[in-house]
Amino acid sequence: MNPSTKSARQVAALFALAITLFFFNGCDSALSDIEITDPGVLQTHFVVERALLDDGTILSSLQATLLDKNLASVELKNGKIKVNGQQMSVTEILNISTYHIPAASVALSTDYNFEVILANGKSHTGTVTTPQKTFTSVTVPSTNNVNSDLTISWQDVYVHDDLIISLNLTSPAGTVPGAVFTLTPSQMQSGSFVIPKSNFATPQGITSITLTLTGVTYGTIDPKFRNGSGTISRMRVEKKVIFN
C-alpha cells in the first residue's frame, strides 16, 4: 500500500469516527457564531456519491461537512462552499449541519472541485475525480439459505482505491449492521466474492440482508484544513437477499 492510499484510508476512518462521535456530542459548534478565517480549525469532508438501490432507483449526492475540534458541525458565518462553481445549500442530515446540492447529479470520469470560502474571502479547496466505470451489473441471488455461502459477482471490473462489501442483517428483532469486507486489488479484478455462511449465524432468525457494494476513490484536500479532513467519491450498489 502506498503512503497516499494509507493516509486516505485513515482519513476515511476518521470521518466515520467523527460522524459516530457526533451523536454523543449532539450540538452545533460555537464556531458557527463567529467569522472563521483560519481553515486549521475546520475538519472538512467533501463527499461525492452515486447509489443504485435494489429497486432500480439512482440517488446522487454532493455534500460537504465542517466539524470543529470537538466534532460538532459548523455552519460558516459570512462564508460559503461551492462545488464546480455552484454554491451549496445548508441542511440537516442525521442532525448534522451539512452543505449540499439539491437534486444533485453525479457523472463518471468527472472532476468535482469543492471550494470553502471563508469570511476573509480566501478559498481552500478539495478535489476528487469519479471513476471511469461503476457497477452496471451486480449479480446477487434473490434468495439464500442461512446455512449456505452467498456468492456475488459484478461486471465492468475496475480497480478502485477501496472496494467494500457491507451487510445489514434483518431479523424479527430488527436490523443490525453485519460484516464488512475490504477487497484486495486481485479480488476486485476477479469480479466475484463469496460471503461465508458464518456471517449469517447471528442474529437468530435472519429474514433478509441488504448487501452494499461500494467503490471508493480518494481525492485531495488543502492541507491547511484540520487533520482528518478528506475528499472522497463513493459509487455503491445495494441488493436485498431474502433468507429462507
Q: What was the pLDDT predicted at 4?
A: 44
pTM: 0.85
pLDDT at 21 (0 to 100)? 46
The model's pLDDT over 72-88, given as tens digits with 9 standing for 90+, comes to 999 999 999 999 999 99
**Under 8 Å between Cβ of 99 and 88:** yes
Q: For residue 34, what is the enclosing H or E element?
A: none
How many other β-carbons are positioned within 10 Å of the β-carbon of residue 46? 28
pLDDT of residue 96: 83
pLDDT attached to residue 130: 94
What is the predicted pLDDT for the residue at 159?
A: 73
- Distance between CA 185 and CA 189 in Å, rounded? 6
What's the pLDDT tens digit per position in 29-42? 899 999 999 999 99
Residue owning grid cell 432507483: 57
pLDDT of residue 136: 65
In the chain, which residues have pLDDT < 70?
Answer: 1-27, 136, 156-157
pLDDT at 179: 96
Q: Could you give the C-alpha distances from 244 to 104, 137, 147, 207, in angstroms and in order?
A: 38, 24, 10, 7
* 155: phi then psi, degrees, rounded to nearest 5: -105, 180
pLDDT of residue 189: 86
- Residue 187 host element (H or E): helix 185-190
Domains and CATH numbers, the chain: 3-132+219-234 (no CATH), 138-216 (2.60.40)
